[in-house]
Amino acid sequence: SPTLAEAAQRTGRYFGTAVTAGKLADPVYAGILDREFDVVTPENEMKLDATQPQQGRFVFTAADRIVDHALQRGKRVRGHTLLWHSGQPGWLNNLGGTALRAAMLDHVTQVVAHYRGRIHSWDVVNEAFADGTTGRRRDSNFQRTGDDWIEAAFRAARAADPGATLCYNDYNVEDRAHAKTQAVLRMVRDFKARGVPIDCVGVQSHFAGGNPVPADFEATLRDFAALGVDVQLTELDVEGSGATQAQNFRRVAQACLAVPRCAGITVWGIRDTDSWRASGTPLLFDGAGDPKPAYHAVLHAL
């Protein structure tokens, strides 16, 4: 039978995974990675605390190991992420106003320039909207530099690598009825209308008991695509096990397949034991590296 990547390629899509540099030497891990996936996202190695631990000192060692591993094997890389309220180094907390604004845009420019030509898609800005019913921006140091910080970041990223697909990435944007979904839709519509360079919305897709795959998931993907951007499912995991979990993974894959501009799916880790989630079994391979029912369900749906 085909691999996940081969099955996705039949409809012009990709199938990716988050990867951590420290596990590339694990032969089971690397074996599954190299066989099944054609897109790779560094799980933490491109975040701001990793790439600029001190102001002006850029460190790309760990991220480069992942990028090199992927590109040497003909895989593409999703860059994750340039600007996020979390994963920030201490020095950023001591800045504000125009100094923070300049440092923020310098970070975008330097990191995107370092990887120019090697990154398929960048998550330029991650999780900039608040949860709950307000639809407002999340309060963060970046947000306090002015409401236009997101578009400034996208413009800087475009200038530094005109060939990369530029994404806005968030969670709780899977349900059309959610205020955050509507707020991101409004932002993307506004950006497209004003010529802000955005190409894609990343829908994280972390699903759990309290956050099931919503009935209108496919409709939400269609709403984003209708604005003239690609949709990428960027961090998929689904808590649960067995046939129920498999059915949820199948529904996610079917939703992507039903939307022409859904460009691909990335799962947030390879084996259950690689997951960021404290408990549970949210991925496609078990701790021994064997494919689960959810794997077969996704493969069949692609």
Cβ atoms of 98 and 144 closer than 8 Å: no
Question: Which residue, 214 or 269, is less far from ligand XIL as judged by CB?
Answer: 269
Is 235 designated active site? yes
Query: Please, what is the minimum distance in Å from the beta carbon of residue 277 to ligand XIL?
Result: 8
CA-CA distances (angstroms) from residue 236 to 64, 171, 282, 283, 291? Answer: 24, 10, 9, 8, 16
Cβ atoms of 2 and 11 closer than 8 Å: no
With CB under 6 A as the contact rule, the residue among 17, 51, 121, 126 that binds ligand XIL is 126
- 130 DSSP 8-state letter: -
Cβ atoms of 35 and 289 closer than 8 Å: no
Q: Is 17 in the site for ligand XIL (CB under 6 A)?
A: no
The 3-state DSSP class for residue 224 equals: helix
With CB under 6 A as the contact rule, the residue among 5, 8, 39, 43 that binds ligand XIL is 43
Cβ atoms of 262 and 221 closer than 8 Å: yes
Q: Is 49 in the site for ligand XIL (CB under 6 A)?
A: no
Query: Please, what is the minimum distance in Å from the beta carbon of residue 129 to ligand XIL?
Result: 13
Neighbours of 290 (CB within 10 A): 11
Query: Please, what is the minimum distance in Å from the beta carbon of residue 99 to ligand XIL?
Result: 26
Question: Which residue, 7 or 104, is less far from ligand XIL as judged by CB?
Answer: 104
Tell me which residue has tokens 């995107």. 112
Residue nearest to ligand XIL (CB): 276
Question: Which residue, 43 or 151, is less far from ligand XIL as judged by CB?
Answer: 43
Contacts of 12 (CB under 8 A, 6+ apart): none
Query: Please, what is the minimum distance in Å from the beta carbon of residue 176 to ligand XIL?
Result: 21
Question: Which residue, 42 or 240, is less far from ligand XIL as judged by CB?
Answer: 42
Fill in the per-residue mask, 259 to 278: x = in contact with ligand XIL (CB under 6 A), - = not in contact: -----------------x--
Q: Is 91 in the site for ligand XIL (CB under 6 A)?
A: no
Neighbours of 44 (CB within 10 A): 17
Kindly state the tokens that stand for 4: 């996940």
CA 127, 81, 151, 166 torsion-angle sign: negative
Instruction: Give dist(CA 109, CA 81) in Å, integer.
Output: 13
Q: Is 45 in the site for ligand XIL (CB under 6 A)?
A: no
With CB under 6 A as the contact rule, the residue among 44, 55, 109, 110 that binds ligand XIL is 44
Name the nearest CA neighbour of 68 among 107, 109, 21, 111.
21
Instruction: Give dist(CA 192, CA 228) in Å, integer.
Output: 8
Query: Please, what is the minimum distance in Å from the beta carbon of residue 56 to ligand XIL?
Result: 24
Query: Please, what is the minimum distance in Å from the beta carbon of residue 43 to ligand XIL?
Result: 5
Residues between 193 and 232 that touch ligand XIL (CB under 6 A) = 204
Cβ atoms of 230 and 196 closer than 8 Å: no
With CB under 6 A as the contact rule, the residue among 235, 237, 272, 274 that binds ligand XIL is 235
Q: Is 88 in the site for ligand XIL (CB under 6 A)?
A: no
Instruction: Indicate which residue of 127, 151, 174, 218 is catalytic.
Output: 127
Which residues are designated catalytic?
Answer: 127, 235
Residues lying near ligand XIL in the complex (CB under 6 A)? 43-44, 126, 204, 235, 276
